[in-house]
Structure 1
Amino acid sequence: MDATDHLRDSLDAAVALGNRLGAQWSRGRPQSAGDIESVEAVLRLSTKLSQDVDDRALAEFLAGGARLYAALALLADGSVDAGAARLNELLAATQAAPRLTRPAGSPWHLHFAAPGVSLAHGWLAEFATAAAMLLGSSEYELLKRCEADRCDLLFLDATRNHTQRFCSTACQNRTKVAAFRARVP
């Protein structure tokens, strides 16, 4: 595994968690509140392993995910200083502290949570750290907000020329159909 693969997985999961717990609209539909299954699915994006989220952890994820979304949305909208301030607040609240760990039979890897923090704070610390590392790179402008009406989702532009405007083909198609209908009498 390339060292940057884990960072990319964490960043993808951070955006997914923020979208799931912070966006009001998703692909033209109002988004419902996050649930345990959706949080567990997001965590599998980073670890590929199953994580058991209970009601207490869900409440922490809901609050932290909304804060993460707010920070990422500021970055995507070009308010870099305000987004960085929000990320710093989240890093402090989650007690993010990088340290190397090695579970039995596994190689060393970097965790971003201080010992003894809750499951949610540990993951939120990792996701906030991944977002902070993106902000500290030359690629932070790849974090974008979908341009479709009634879609608040954020995404990382993976196109070669960095011109992606929509989070999905569904939003792109909705926008094209709306433009066509507006032109046709």
Structure 2
Amino acid sequence: MQLNPYGEDAVNLAADLANRRPQSASELADRCRAAGLEPERPATADDLDHAQAALNTWEKIVNAVGEQERADLLNRMLAEAAAYPRLICHPGTGWHLHYRDAEQPLGAVLFTLLAVGTALHLAGRGMHRLRRCEVTECDNAFADTSRTGRQRYCSQRCANRDAVRRHRARTAVT
């Protein structure tokens, strides 16, 4: 696994997978690789099922109302994913921490990665930095990684779409 630090990369991977769910184990593995997470063994249908369950749990955290509910849900996910941190050295990447047991299948790795990464992201940047896009017809989840912590849209495309809508509404009135 080459995602280090866990926070931003892991929470962005969670959002990507949640917004466009993988349809097969091979797609799951390919998308993990593209994000920098190299599976230690071939992905299986069980990995896909475990990943889908992890994403369902993660989306409940995204949809939580209030910081305490979000923290409670995330703490349950962390408890299920609990393993002591380990120093690991991969060839070419150097020493870093793994927050999971060794030799885990991809689905279990993702569950832990999403839990720890989301916890680090929220604790480090703020509990409000995980949400849904504000464009009405978009339901994408995203991690607010902006400098100011005021990101409202999942993408520049949605931000532009909403700006055009607001502009047209203003000009139609006058």
TM value normalised by structure 1:
0.72
Which of 169, 172, 183 aligns to 2:159? It is: 172
Structure 1 residue 66 and structure 2 residue 56: aligned? yes
Q: Take 2:137 and 2:68, find their aligned partners in 1: how far apart are those partners?
A: 26
- Offset at 1:125? 0.4
Q: Take 1:18 and 1:88, find their aligned partners in 2: how far apart are those partners?
A: 19
- Offset at 1:180? 4.9
Question: What residue number does 1:31 align with?
Answer: none
Aligned residues: 168
Cα 1:120/1:50, change in 2 over 3 Å: closer
Question: What residue number does 1:156 align with?
Answer: 143
Q: Take 1:180 and 1:35, find their aligned partners in 2: how far apart are those partners?
A: 38
Give a deviation string over 1:84-138, Cα, whole Å, max 9, x none.
Answer: 2211222232344322223456522211112454321122102201111223224
CA contact (8 A) 1:6 1:46 kept: no
Structure 1 residue 35 and structure 2 residue 4: aligned? no
Give structure 2 stretches of 5+ with no counterpart. Answer: none
Q: 1:62-141 maps to which residues of 2 (within 5 A)?
A: 62-74=52-64, 77=65, 79-103=66-90, 107-115=94-102, 117-141=104-128
- Offset at 1:5? 4.4
Cα 1:38/1:139, change in 2 over 3 Å: farther
TM value normalised by structure 2:
0.75
CA contact (8 A) 1:12 1:45 kept: no
Identical counterparts, % of pairs? 27
- Offset at 1:157? 2.9
Which of 53, 57, 61 aligns to 2:43? It is: 53
Question: What residue number does 1:24 align with?
Answer: none
Give structure 1 stretches of 5+ with no counterpart. Answer: 22-33
